[in-house]
Each structure stands twice: as structure tokens, then as C-alpha cells.
Chain A
Amino acid sequence: MRSSFTRANLPLLIWVAVLLAALVLTVSSMAGREWLKSNIFELLPESEYDLLTETATRTVDAELGTRLLFFVGHANRDIAKVTTDWFAGRLTEHPLIESVSTGVDGAQFSDMASFYYPHRTQILSGEQIARLAEDAAAVERKALAEVFSPFGVAASTLASDPFVLFPGSMQALQPASSALQLDDTYLWARKDGRDYIFVMAMVSSPTLSIGEQEDLATHVNATIGEAVTAEPGVHFLKTGFSFYAHQATQSAKGEVSTIGVGSLIGLLLLVISTFRSLRPLSLIVVSILAGCLVALAVTLSVFGFVHLFTLVFGASLIGVSVDYSFHYVADDAFGGEDWTPRSGLRNIFMGITLGLITSVLAYLALTVAPFPGLQQLAVFSSAGLMGAYLTLICMCRLWRRRFVVQDNSIILGFARGYLRVWQQSRPQYRYVLTAVLIIVMVVTWRSIEVNDDVRLLQSQPPELVRQEAEIQALLGVAQAGTFLLSSASTNEDLLQLEEALRAKLDDMISAGALTGYQAVSRWVPSQQRQEQSRDAYSALVHSRLPAYFESLGVAEDVLLSTTSDLTGQPRALEVTTWLEHPVSGPFRKLWLETPGENRASIILLFGVQDIDALSAVVADFPAATVVNKGRELSALFGDYRTRVVQVLVAAYLIILAGLSARYGPARAAVLLVPPVFAGLLALIVISLAGETLNLFNFLAMILVLGIGIDFTLFLAEAPGELTSTMFAITLSALTTMLSFGLLSLSSTYAVHSFGLTVLIGIACAYLLSPLALGARVRSAKS
């Protein structure tokens, strides 16, 4: 007696011990560290870049990712200024804000002027050189006007910069990308009757944790709120990667609870309406909870953290892991007088085991795409399913009292009725239906359109997008993110390469194909360019200075000293000097630190209209490449979409081979028809609804296969009467559709695509599953 008790309960005891261990593991993994992550970058694949491109991409990401841009607007610019100062002060108080700038720093400008002034003969812009060659007399006349200007200071610098060329050279050095105007030190622009003052803040890191994001966004929003309360006419615009990240986290958090709670409520309603008892629910809930616990424990021990994205998907796991319990409960409810937990388990064992294996295989197949996000999702889901499965197997005998299905349950009625339609129709109708579906699919196949653009996959809160667009319009700077990566063996070669590239870029700017760029060679011309500048300068001094000075009455000794000063030995202006000097500021990052002998640099581009046209231009320069992370990722997404299709085909072939061993090729093929058709129909329906397809639709097809084939397998494997199986399938299809249907409501397009495809696919797989009736192992007649 005692020994039989122990033997019967051994799996149960072991499983309870395992669950306790999982609980301890989970709690200890979560304690005292950041176990939940939300940074979208963690989900994306490692780029397939070489080291240099990777470094460059990181530099640019960090540069763009740490910026927060604001505009503080008011009809009265003085009020806007006061508010700006107050706002900047409050921003600075936050520990995550590294610096705040409210405009042009006068001292910074003067630093720059004193850095370049000694080199003034070497830094003439291309335009200035061209003008000197064209019409030196006009240059002199203009200088003369400056000398007499009531506002001018040109007269005082007449001896060192007689032709007033330095201000123009300085202008050319500044990035010509801003549409802003200056007032005191504030940069501003007018829009809709308000004067908007520009504020830029730098965040200390491009990747903030969820807590930090929350903290920063709360601080910024509270500060803005306070300002608007104090001065109702003030209007703020804000943009920055951190705000998008925060918004994405918030909506993902909301979705986790919506999907989780939604699934549970749906489940509750299903169970109550079907069994009029909460007892089946206790078995289901225990198996779901155990599944989630195992999933968390395994994921945390494999990855060390759980991504919010995994939880969003994971919440839909509830709807899948519940299937095993449903089969057990249904078998119990429909079992005869002599039904025991042991016999019930035996009845469903083959079906749910095959189901588990195919589902886990389907999830693992998701990992073909090297997206860390998908890998974690696959591990999480597989572990969760195995947890739920083992819980049922080990613990079901705890529910000794029989489950009773309400005979008037709608779901039972539907399952029974739907099954009867199929059972009573003649087998030929199945062929007719199959043929009709094939025709429909062939005809509508062309509506399918694919779009791999990675931007589609990020959630884009319209309010933030609108503010970003307004800010870009005010700044006159368009979207950044594309850059040129150039390399050469020496600094001089690299500067010359940049200058050659910039000549092409300038053409693109004039043609409206680009709005601007930042490049080191703008601040440090190549030696070659410096020599050209000096030659032009010397020619001007020799040809015009004596007469010019004489007309103004400048003393002879001043002419001599000025001439020798401006035509004497140059003062070397090197990249290394510039890099070490504070004037290079944030732009020094564009000159990359390279491990080897080679030098490399970034030219950051703004407002690229057509990246292919840009690539064509740059193709003439073998040492330069166009890098755009978004485009590379889109290409990668397209590449993996193709691979997923290949994996799907391979998976079907392998399953076909496996099933052929058990059922023979013909019946195995029949078993595969429902999930194959379901997946294809899902794609077609989504396309007909006007959406373009992406990687995630195809990844979802793997799940449609994994879950959809369960339906046909359960029907094929079911012993005796089919009502209980059809009933269980109906319940599990409903719960799966419920949870994935909720995913399709997600604001993140990737999640939406995935959810919608599974929703439609599973609906089709369920409706078509009775096609498998023709391939049953055991006869239905009893």
C-alpha cells in the first residue's frame, strides 16, 4: 500500500520539487538586478558588419541616440527666453542629463575664432577661392564697404584681415544645416505666430534601462507641465530616442497586461460556459502558472534577463499551453463509467505528446533568424509548453472527481454540429473543397505584397512622430542615420577623399537630394586644399593690397608687415591639433579611432532623399561606403524572410516524412493539407485586407504549422468517438485565437503582424482540420 502510494506519486513529487526549484531560481534571478529589458536594440540581430563599420555605427547611434531636442514657444519671445532658461535649469537637475544647451555659446564661438585666426590664409572656402579668381575687385569693394559699415569691426582688423575674408571662412566651417536665427545667444524660429527657442540636451547613455527611461520621461513631462501651468501661452515640442523608447515600453507594458488579462478572462468565460464549474479551471490555471514559471526560470537562466517583447508574446502562450489540459478535461468528461485519470492520460498521451513535439519544433524553428528577441521567445515558449505539459502529466491525478460538460454548452454544440457536417458529407466533397481552395489561392496569390522596411516594425506613436516632424521643419534638418564611412592610409589621403566626396555631396545638396552633412574635412581642410587657399590668398595680397591700402591711407610699414604676415610661412593646421583642441567638440567623434595603420572617418548625412542614388554616387569611390542601419536591417529582414520560407518548406517535408512512416505517404499528405492551406490563406486574407507582409507574418506561419498540425493529429489519433477530441480542439482553437487575436491589436507592427497571421491561420486550420478524418488511425465506428 505504502509502496504503491509512493510509486504512483513519484512523478508528482519530483515535478513539485522541480517547480519549487524553478520558483527559487526565478526569484533569485530577479532579485537585485535589472531582469526586465525593453531596449529594442536588444531584439535586433547583431549586424553582419565588419569591425570598422560596427564601430562607426555605434558612434553614430550613440551620437543620435543621446540627443533630446526641444522647442520652447511663445507669442512673446522674451517670455519664451525666460521659460527656456528655467526649463534648461530644471533639465540640468536630472542626473541622466549630461548637458543642456540653449543656443550658441558666445565664448565657444570666440574660442573657435581664436583657434582658426592664425590659420586664416589656409582656410578659404572653395567658394571664396573661386570668387577671388573670378572677380577680386568685387571682393575688395565688399571689404571696403565693411570697413566703412557703422556696425562693422572690420576697420580694426584691417591690418590682419584686410579683405575681411575671415568671417566668410568661419561661416563655411560651420555646419550649414540650420534654419534657426540668433537672438542674444538663443537660437529660434517662428511658426504659427509663436517664437520657438531651441534647446538641446544630451542624455548620459543611448541605452537607458526601463526605470531610467521612466524617470527621465516623467521628469521632462512634469517640467513641461509645470511650465505650461505657470505660463499658459507656452508651447513645447520635444523629440528624442529616449521618448520613443519610453513610449514603446509603456505600450508594451500595457499590452502584456491586456493580452494576459484578456486571455484569462476569455478562458474563464469559456470554461464556465462549458463546464458550469470552476474546477476544470483550477487544473488549467495550475498548468498555465507552472508553464509560465518554468518559462521564466529557463529564460532567466539562459539569457539572464527577460525582454518585454518576450512577455508580450509569452502572454499569448497562455492560450497554447492550455490545450493539454483541455484534452484531458474533455476526455474525462466524455469518458465512460470506467474512466480513470490513468486511462484518460493514456487516451490523450500520443496526441498531446506529438502536439508538444511539433509545437516545440515550430518554436525552435523561429530561431533560424538570428534575432536575439526571437531566440528568447522560442526558449521562453518551448519551456513554457513543456512545463504545462509535464504539469498535466504529473499532476492530473490530483483531480479525482470527474468533470462534467454542460450538455447545452454552445461550444460543445458547435463542435458536435461541425463534426457531424463533415462526417455526414460524402468524402468527394472534401476533394471538391480542396480543389476550390486551391483555385481561390492561385487566383488571389498575386495580391500578396512584401515590405521588409524595418521602420514598419517599430511602434511609432503619432503624437511623437508629429512633434519630431515639426522639430525637423523648424530646424531645417531632416532625418539623420545615413552616413558615409571612408578609409585611407594617411590622414591627408582621408581628408582628400572626404573633400572629393563632399564635392559630390554639395552637388546633391544643390539638387535637393540632401539637406546637409557633417565632415571633419570641413573643419580641417587637407594640406592640398590649404595650399590652394594660401596660393589664392598670396595672389590677392600681392596684386591688390598695396593699392587698396594706399587708397585708405594705411602707413607703408603696416603694408609691409601685413604682406609678410599673410604671405609668409604657413602655420600647420593638422587633424591631430584639431582633435586635441576643445573646438572640435562633439565632431571629433567623426574621426574614428582605428586599431591598425589605416585611418577612417564618418560623414554624417542629413535628409537623404534617395539612398540608391547616393550609393550610385559613392560607388565611384572604392574606399567609401554608404551605411544605413535601417536599410541594412531591412535587407536582413528580407533575407530572413526568404530563409523562413525555406525553413517552412523544409519543416513540412520533414513532418511529411515523419508522418509517412506512421500513416503512409498519402494519408500523411492529407494530414498536412489543413495547416498548409491555413497558413497560405492567412497570408492571402491579410494581403486582401491591404496590409503588406513582412518577416513576422512568415514567422507566424511556423506557429500555424506547429499548432495547426496538432488539430489534425489529434483527430487522426483519437480513439473511438470523435466528439471529445473535436470539443477539445474547438476549445484550444478558441483560446489560441483569443490570445493571438489580442496580439494583433498591438501597436507594434511586428507583434500585430504575427498575431493576426496566427489568428487567421489557426481559424482556418481549425475549420479545415476535419479534412484529416480521411486519414484516421482507428475507425470511428464503435
Chain B
Amino acid sequence: MFRQSANSHRKNPRMRLTRTTVLVVLLLLSARPGVAEEQVDAGLQDVVAQLAAPAVLRGRFTQTRKIQFISRPLESSGRFVLSDMGLYWQQEQPLASVLIADGDRMLQQVDDGPLESVDVGRNPMVLTFSKSFLSIFEGNETELRNNFDIAFVDEAGSWEIRLSPISYPMVEAIDTIILRGREYIEELIVVSRSLDETTIGFSDLQTVPDQLTEHEIELYAR
């Protein structure tokens, strides 16, 4: 995703900066002592680099949310696009809604209603959440290290990253975030402090074409 897309007039400068920062952090990390940590970091770096590699990632998602006081899980599904323009999250079931998020803003549309800005400026919680999730999707290691303790397990090509929040406000609401995957991220599990659990499975992942189609650009631009 750090490759520059062909439609250069839509480039987001922030993303390019992030890339530089990631590289700097990786260089710094590689110089750090401690064998065990180095191994963890080496594996993590690979995964992070892998996550960050495609310019555009698109696919389907299935979300299962288990709430303590609700007997059956809340299930939803739809499709998504992730690119340097941010995350486009289109839920199809059980109700139609669209969420567009980048590091600084979030837009939401319910049913055929208007596309409304979720005013993240007033609530640091919402913004930190969306940014953290974005950084997970994007493989933004700096952002991740700022906000989480990271544990990494790699077994025969399938890996698992466990993130424990260390910074406010995530630490107040989230217990653990678990990411699993092979080439790309395949499953994301969020366990809240109240022990509610949200599992998002990703399928049908595609990185080709490696730039946004005209149709996708329109989706973001709404």
C-alpha cells in the first residue's frame, strides 16, 4: 500500500510520511540487542511488511459479535476496500451501512440516509479506535507500538499477533486484540474489557489490480 498509486492527484501525503517513519523504526529496531526480542521483531517485521505490501486490498468480511447479555451472536457481513485513501467498509447484512475512515475523519451512512461525518474531533475515544484499527489493517508498526504491547507467534507460515492496549483510551475499553493470518490478515478478534468478543473474518482477498479502480475511487469520494 505504500507504493504510489497511479492516480497521483489523490495521494495522501500522510501515508507517505508514515512509510518513512516505519522504515526508520524498523532500522532502529534492527539495531536493538536481545536475541529473543530480535526474533520476535524479525518475524513481526516480516508480517508487518507483508501487511503493508499491497497498494490496495479488497475482500469480504464476516463479523460475529458476542455480547454478554445477548444469547445469540450479532452477525453482519459485507465487503471492504483498503487503500491509501483509507478504509471503505460496506456492510450489507443485517442492515446496509457504509463507513469511510482515514486517520483523521470518519464518515457514516445508514440505509439510504445521508453520508454523515462522525464527529471524531470531540471524542478522542472514537478516533483512537479507528486509527488503531486502521494501523492494524495497514501494518503501521509505529502506531501499533505506541498503543499496544505486542506478542508474536509464527507457526508454519501462519502467524498470530496479540495486542494488549497500553494507552488511553483503548486500555479502558479493550482487553486484547488478536490478529491471525498467512499472507494477509485473515481474522481479527477483539475482546473488550466487558469480555464481549468481536471476530471479523476476511475472505476473498484480492490485491489485483494494484491500484484503485474508477468505481472504487468514486466510493471513497462520496
Contacts and interface: CB of A to CB of B under 8 A. Distances in A.
Interface in A156-183: 156, 158-159, 167, 170-171, 174, 178, 180-183
A78 B121 contact: no
B104 A183 contact: yes
Contacts of A104: 124
B128 to A, nearest CB: 7
Interface string B29-60: 00000000000000000000000000000000
A156 B192 contact: yes
B149 interface: no
Contacts of B168: 106-107, 110
B173 A156 contact: yes
Contacts of B104: 181-183
B74 A552 contact: yes
Contacts of B72: 553
B70 A553 contact: yes
B130 to A, nearest CB: 5
Given A76-B17, A153-B129, A148 B95 contact: yes
Given A78-B17, A153-B173, A558-B69, A148 B74 contact: yes
A141 B95 contact: yes
Contacts, number: 115
Given A156-B196, A555-B71, A558-B69, A149 B169 contact: no
B99 A150 contact: yes
A151 interface: yes
Nearest to B194: A156
B196 A155 contact: yes
Given A155-B196, A159-B69, A555-B70, A171 B122 contact: yes
Given A109-B124, A145-B110, A167-B123, A151 B67 contact: no
A178 B121 contact: yes
B113 A138 contact: yes
A222 B216 CA distance: 50
A142 interface: yes
B14 interface: yes
Contacts of A48: none
Nearest to B111: A141
Given A151-B129, A151-B133, A155-B74, A145 B108 contact: yes
A183 B21 CA distance: 16
Interface in A126-150: 138, 141-142, 144-145, 147-150
A150 B63 contact: yes
B125 interface: yes
B128 A184 contact: yes
A674 B198 CA distance: 94
B122 A174 contact: yes
Contacts of A145: 91, 95, 97, 108, 110
Nearest to B101: A151
B99 A149 contact: yes
Contacts of A142: 110, 113
Interface in A529-575: 552-555, 558
Contact of B103 (A147, A159, A170, A183): A183
B120 interface: yes
A594 to B, nearest CB: 32
A77 interface: yes
Interface residues of A, number: 40
Q: Which of A104, A147, A155, A553 has the most CB of B within 10 A?
A: A155
A109 B123 CA distance: 8
Interface residues of B, number: 50
A185 interface: yes
A456 to B, nearest CB: 37
Contact of B17 (A77, A167, A180, A184): A77
Contacts of A553: 70-72, 74
A181 B173 CA distance: 23
A310 to B, nearest CB: 49
A29 to B, nearest CB: 55
A182 B105 CA distance: 9
Contacts of A184: 124, 128
Interface in B143-168: 168
Given A141-B110, A552-B70, A110 B129 contact: no
A339 B192 CA distance: 107
Nearest to B192: A156
Contacts of A156: 67, 173, 192, 194, 196
A201 B101 CA distance: 32
Given A138-B113, A148-B74, A558-B69, A185 B95 contact: no
Nearest to A179: B121
A158 B67 contact: yes
Contacts of B61: 150
B121 A106 contact: no
Contacts of B101: 151
Interface in A181-205: 181-185, 187
Contacts of B128: 184
B127 interface: yes
B205 to A, nearest CB: 16
A627 to B, nearest CB: 30
Nearest to B97: A145
Nearest to B93: A148
Contacts of A555: 69-71
Given A155-B196, A171-B122, A182-B121, A148 B76 contact: yes
A155 B67 contact: yes
Contacts of B169: 106, 110
Contacts of A558: 69
B198 A150 contact: yes
Given A142-B110, A155-B74, A148 B123 contact: no
B184 interface: no
A107 to B, nearest CB: 7
B89 interface: yes
A53 B126 CA distance: 42
B119 interface: yes
B200 interface: yes
Contacts of A185: 124
Interface in B69-109: 69-72, 74, 76, 89, 91, 94-95, 97, 99, 101, 103-106, 108
B212 to A, nearest CB: 21
Contacts of B17: 76-78
Q: Which of A107, A151, A184, A554 has the most CB of B within 10 A?
A: A151
B121 A109 contact: no
A153 B125 contact: yes
Contacts of A76: 17
Nearest to B91: A148
A501 B15 CA distance: 46
Given A78-B17, A159-B69, A151 B196 contact: no
Nearest to A180: B121
Interface of A: 76-78, 104, 106-107, 109-110, 138, 141-142, 144-145, 147-151, 153, 155-156, 158-159, 167, 170-171, 174, 178, 180-185, 187, 552-555, 558
30 contacts: A106-B168, A106-B169, A110-B169, A141-B95, A144-B95, A144-B110, A145-B91, A145-B97, A147-B74, A148-B65, A148-B74, A148-B76, A148-B94, A150-B99, A151-B129, A151-B133, A156-B67, A181-B105, A181-B120, A181-B121, A182-B104, A182-B124, A183-B103, A184-B128, A185-B124, A552-B70, A554-B69, A554-B70, A555-B70, A558-B69
Given A145-B91, A187-B121, 20 more contacts: A106-B125, A106-B168, A110-B168, A110-B172, A138-B113, A142-B113, A145-B97, A148-B76, A151-B101, A155-B198, A156-B196, A158-B67, A167-B126, A171-B119, A171-B122, A174-B122, A181-B121, A183-B127, A184-B128, A553-B72
6 closest residue pairs by CB, A with B: A145-B97, A148-B76, A145-B110, A553-B72, A106-B168, A558-B69
Interface of B: 14, 17, 21, 61, 63, 65, 67, 69-72, 74, 76, 89, 91, 94-95, 97, 99, 101, 103-106, 108, 110-111, 113, 119-130, 133, 168-169, 172-173, 192, 194, 196, 198, 200
